[in-house]
Amino acid sequence: MWTCLYLSHIVVIIMIIIATLGIVYGISQKKIKVYQVINIINATITIIIIFLFCVISMALVTGVTSMQYINSENDEIRELEGDTKTNYWTYDEEAMSRIETPSLEYTKLVDLETGNLVAIKEKAVETGKEIVDLSNKEKADEVCKAIDIKEELELSENYLVTLNSKEFIKANEDIYYVTYNYTYTDENLKEEGKIYYIVNEDNQMKTMVMTNINNESKEVEFEGRVLEIINTMKF
C-alpha cells in the first residue's frame, strides 16, 4: 500500500512541476493570447485538484492504517484476556443489598433477612477445557472429579474444602454447578460457607460464587436465594 502511494505521489509531483512551468511560461509571454490564458487557468485548476488528491489520499491511507493498528491491538487484548462475560446475573434488590468490598473480582451481597453473605465473581471466564456435554452424566462426572477447586480459586492452606454435591446440578437450560463446603481458619477468625463452581452447558465458560454463613438457622432459606441468583446467570 505504501509503495503504491509513494509512486503515485512521485507522478503527482512531476505533474505539478510541468503544470507550474506551463503557468510560468504563459505568464512570461509579452503578449498573452486568449488560449494561453485558458491554458494558465487549466494548469492552475490542475495543480489545485492534484494537491487535494494528495491530501485526501494521505488522509484515507492514514485512517485505514490507524484502524488496522486498533484492530490489531484489540485482537491482542482479546488473545491475552480470552473471552469474558460481565453483568451475567441479577438479584432481588428487596431481599439483598450490595456491600463495599476491597476486592475488584467479586460483587458482595448481604441477605437482609438472614445476615448471611454471598460473593459473586464479576466476570465469567473461559475454562480452557475441551467441549463437554454436561447433560451426559458420565462425562459430567469426569469433569467434576477433575476440578481442583483450591487451585481454581487460589485458596491458601487456611481453607479446608470438601466436595458437597458430588455431581453437577442443572440450574437452568445453560448453567450447571457443583458445590463445596469450606472452612477458613486463622488465629483470629473462622468462616464457613459454600463454594459454587458454575459452568455453562458445554463447559467452556465458568464463574464462582462463595457464601459466608453467619446465621446457620437460616442457611437453607439463604441458600434458596443464592440459587435464585445462579438461575439468572447467562454466559
Highest-scoring range by mean pLDDT, 2-11, 52-61, 76-85, 207-216: 207-216
Q: Which of 81, 96, 130 is the last residue of a domain?
A: 81
pLDDT band at 69 (very low <50, low <70, confident <90, very high): very low
Residues 6 or more apart whose Cβ sits within 8 Å of residue 134: 140, 143, 168, 170, 176, 199, 201, 202, 203
Specify the number of domains making up the chain: 2
| Residues 90, 77 share a domain | no
Q: Which of 57, 81, 105 is the last residue of a domain?
A: 81
| Residues 219, 176 share a domain | yes
Which segment of 21-25, 156-160, 211-215 scores lowest on mean pLDDT?
21-25
Which segment of 24-33, 96-105, 152-161, 169-178 scores lowest on mean pLDDT?
24-33
| Residues 136, 41 share a domain | no
- Cβ-in-10-Å burial (0-12, 13-18, 19+) of 68 comes to exposed
CA 180 to chain centre: 29
Q: Which of 81, 99, 121 is the last residue of a domain?
A: 81
What is the pLDDT averaged over residues 177-190? 94
∠ CA 193-195-199, rounded to 5°: 160
d(CA 181, CA 152): 15
| Residues 94, 77 share a domain | no
Question: Which SS3 state, helix, strand or coil, does residue 101 take?
Answer: coil
pLDDT for the residue 83: 77
| Residues 167, 183 share a domain | yes
pLDDT for the residue 174: 93
- The amino acid at 209: V
